[in-house]
Amino acid sequence: MNQDLARQFLFDMSLARAFEQASAQQYSEGKIGGFLHLYPGEEAVAVGVLRAADPGDYVVSTYREHVHALVRGIPAREVMAELFGRSTGCSGGYGGSMHLFDIGRRFLGGYAIVGETFPVAIGAGYWLRMREQSEAVVCFFGDGAANQGTFHESLNMAALWELPVLFVCENNRYQIGTEIHRHSALTEVHRRACAYGMDAERVDGMDVVAVYEATDAALRHVHAGNGPYLLECETYRYRGHSMADSGAYRPEAELAEERGRDPVSGFRDRALKQGWLDERQASQIESEADAAVQDAVQFADASPAPDDLQANVYSNPLDLYKGRP
Amino acid sequence: MSPRQHNDQAGRIAPAQAREELMVWEALNIALDREMDADDSVFLLGEDVGLYGGSYRVSQGLLAKYGEWRVRDTPISEGSFTGLGVGAALVGGRPIIEIMTVNFSLLALDALVNMAAKLRYMSGGQLRVPLVARMPGGVAHQLAAQHSQRLEQMLMNVPGLRVVAPGTPQDSYWHMRQAVRTDDPIVILEHELLYFHKGPFDPDAKPPPMHSAAIRRHGTQATVIAWHRMVEVALEAAERLAADGIEIEVIDLRSLRPIDLPTLQASVRRTGCALVVEEDVRFAGAGAEIAAALGERCFGDLNQPVRRLGAADAPTPYEAGLESASIPDLTAVVNAVRMMLGS
């Protein structure tokens, strides 16, 4: 750990927390529509994993991906504008909360159907391997996705062809409202990788330093051409599955216990204690993050809506359909 | 399920020089070879496309020429290897996936419908998905209900996909080559009974636009619209009717999304009468869309409603006689035209 990294971690996690709080607020005010899946509690995973990844690595994400997008470097303005459905959003207002994309930053989405991330990731990995390129693919998924057929199909192919893919399980123990002991015969997701001879490991997903170090080691394995790797991060989401879900199915004691090991305040305390940051520096970082989020909301609110319903359905207009009633 | 009994790994790619006659599988094979040779981002994957050479020989010889990274035998995992194609397409590849039969494409529909067809749109135009999905299908020789489907209508209903249905060696070649160079996901429907049909072939002829229809026979009294094997049924019917002095126009649609309505409209304007013949189930089938579109656009030119012939509203039976009876045949087309013309 060094001071720059500590500063980065605290900024990323503060930005993430503030961004998601602002999103919830804007959703309540009707500025954001559709489904909105928020990330508080899980910040250490996105930050630890993506700060360990190289800028050249591809990232494939799920429908709970605002923070992945932010840490990847997509400006908060563009992410918030996308939630608002504005043309300045990172998907032009056509994707929304669940479909954030930024090909320039190698951020490949944004998939709203559980289990879709695996084949996309092995596809990018196949291409990299076929072209003998050195980059890797980081593929996020939740504990619920481990029960989809594509998980097993894709892990099999990834291991069989030694594809450069790091599978990152964000195990928050709930598949919407179904607790992991009620949805999985084997609740330790990393152990499933052994079925395909894939190296795997479990890490405390509430500890950003642990996630960062584990990812760094895992990606070194992948980048060195040793094939795929599966990293299971044990984490927790404080909110319900989406804004439509109060999360009332969870015991209050469980929630309180998880809040007690909050990844953001936990890291802040540790950084102060270790002397990586002082109080003044930490407060200033948090203020910067808050300001960036406020700016993003104002930017989104002032941005125009997209106006072309037919844009980008095809690469070029199918002219046979032009000018029809 | 395969017409091939033996592994033919020593098989060579069909020679690419112009020949008068070629089989559909050979034309596809030459098209794949030419595209893979021209662009090293083109690669092929699917079940048994490599060492085995493809269930219908379409990829014969390509593994030996291009190696296993560009001609990849996959596990039986349609949902994921189709999605693999999508992922590779997003980052610069031009994958061609073979789904062994259209029936198995149902396992890949998430990748095709939810992913491939939507990623360009919902990324605001950032992503491109130059993915080709080849699917043999149709009613072949007693393959029974799970191996005899035609799923045109399901794929046609998806904005973002292109769907073509080549029926001749020449069209198969053109469609394949144009599809590989298209930046959108495209489904090539191939008919299992046509792979071993011979037809004229000239690899150097100028191709027609991928989505244009072709008039296979000119006529004045009725327009018959078909694709794949039903074109040949319609052409046989035209011969039979011509003997009685009835001249029908036979149009090979060639593309199902988009549909070349200008060509259909122009024909209907001349004949005033249209019949769609499809092998797909008639109920809510492709013909329903064509009939409705012509009804909306050519009402004043039509002297009666557009008629449709299609498959029975039942799964395809195994028994040979029933199987034949389940889809339109020569007699059905002849009778339908006669009824429409009141003769």
A320 pLDDT more than 90:
no
B chain contacts of residue A129, beta-carbon cutoff 8 Å: 69
B321 pLDDT more than 60:
yes
Query: With an 8 Å Cβ cutoff, is B96 touching chain A?
Result: no
Rg (CA), chain A: 20
Contact: B126, A91; criterion CB under 8 Å:
yes
B chain contacts of residue A154, beta-carbon cutoff 8 Å: 77, 80, 83-84
Known catalytic residue at B78: yes
| pLDDT of B15 | 60
Query: With an 8 Å Cβ cutoff, is A91 touching chain B?
Result: yes
- Give the number of other CB atoms < 10 A from CB of residue A305: 10
Query: With an 8 Å Cβ cutoff, is B93 touching chain A?
Result: yes
B chain contacts of residue A156, beta-carbon cutoff 8 Å: 75, 77
Provide the chain B residues 103-122 that lie in CB contact (below 8 A) with chain A. 110-111, 114-115, 119-122
Contact: B91, A111; criterion CB under 8 Å:
no
User: Predicted confidence band at B218 (pLDDT cuts at 50, 70, 90)?
Assistant: very high
Contact: B124, A101; criterion CB under 8 Å:
yes
pLDDT in tens, B260-303: 999 999 999 999 999 999 999 999 999 999 999 999 999 999 99
B136 pLDDT more than 60:
yes
Q: What is the mean pLDDT of chain A?
A: 96
B166 pLDDT more than 70:
yes
pLDDT in tens, A140-189: 999 999 999 999 999 999 999 999 999 999 999 999 999 999 999 999 99
Contact: A103, B126; criterion CB under 8 Å:
yes
Distances (CA, A) of A66 to A103, B47, B60, B67, B289: 15, 37, 46, 40, 41
Provide the chain A residues 173-212 that lie in CB contact (below 8 A) with chain B. none
A324 pLDDT more than 50:
no
Query: With an 8 Å Cβ cutoff, is A52 touching chain B?
Result: no
ipTM of the complex: 0.94
Q: Looking at residues A281-310, what average pLDDT do you find? A: 97
Question: Which positions ≥6 away from A22 have C-beta within 8 Å?
Answer: A80, A293, A294, A296, A297
Known catalytic residue at B147: yes
A chain contacts of residue B73, beta-carbon cutoff 8 Å: none
Query: How far does the CA of residue A14 sit from the closest CA of chain B (Å)?
Result: 27
pTM for this model (two decimals): 0.94
A chain contacts of residue B119, beta-carbon cutoff 8 Å: 101, 109
Q: pLDDT over 70 for what percent of chain A?
A: 97
A chain contacts of residue B262, beta-carbon cutoff 8 Å: 320
Contact: B123, A120; criterion CB under 8 Å:
no
| pLDDT of B206 | 83
Query: How far does the CA of residue A157 sit from the closest CA of chain B (Å)?
Result: 8
| pLDDT of B3 | 40
Provide the chain B residues 20-79 that lie in CB contact (below 8 A) with chain A. 43, 69-70, 74-75, 77, 79
Contact: B124, A129; criterion CB under 8 Å:
no
Query: Of residues B26, B47, B98, B147, which has the active-site annotation?
Result: B147
B94 forms beta bridges with B42
CB-count burial class (<10 Å; 0-12, 13-18, 19+) for A75: middle
A309 pLDDT more than 70:
yes
B330 pLDDT more than 90:
yes
Higher per-residue pLDDT: B203 or A99: A99
Q: Looking at residues A182-199, what average pLDDT do you find? A: 97
| pLDDT of A316 | 80
**Chains A, B: CB contacts under 8 A, how many?**
163
Distances (CA, A) of B131 to A103, A281, B41, B60: 17, 50, 12, 21
Q: Which residue of B has its CA nearest to A113?
A: B114
| pLDDT of A317 | 64
A323 pLDDT more than 90:
no
Query: With an 8 Å Cβ cutoff, is A116 touching chain B?
Result: yes
Q: Looking at residues A228-254, what average pLDDT do you find? A: 95
| pLDDT of A322 | 36
Query: How far does the CA of residue A284 sit from the closest CA of chain B (Å)?
Result: 35
Query: With an 8 Å Cβ cutoff, is A101 touching chain B?
Result: yes
Residue B145 identity (one-letter amino acid): A
Q: Looking at residues A105-128, what average pLDDT do you find? A: 97
CB-count burial class (<10 Å; 0-12, 13-18, 19+) for A4: exposed
Q: Which of B84, B123, B124 sits opposite A119 (nearest CB)?
A: B84
Query: Of residues B78, B232, B249, B323, which has the active-site annotation?
Result: B78
Question: Which positions ≥6 away from B80 have C-beta within 8 Å?
Answer: A118, A119, A122, A149, A150, A153, A154, A157, B111
B20 pLDDT more than 90:
no
Q: Which of A91, A94, A130 sits opposite B43 (nearest CB)?
A: A130
| pLDDT of B147 | 94
Q: Looking at residues B103-122, what average pLDDT do you find? A: 97
B167 pLDDT more than 60:
yes
User: Predicted confidence band at B5 (pLDDT cuts at 50, 70, 90)?
Assistant: very low
Candidates A35, A101, A316, partner chain B, best to mutate (most B CBs within 10 A): A101
Contact: A89, B91; criterion CB under 8 Å:
no
pLDDT in tens, B42-95: 999 999 999 999 999 999 999 999 999 999 999 999 999 999 999 999 999 999
Candidates B40, B70, B78, B91, partner chain A, best to mutate (most A CBs within 10 A): B91
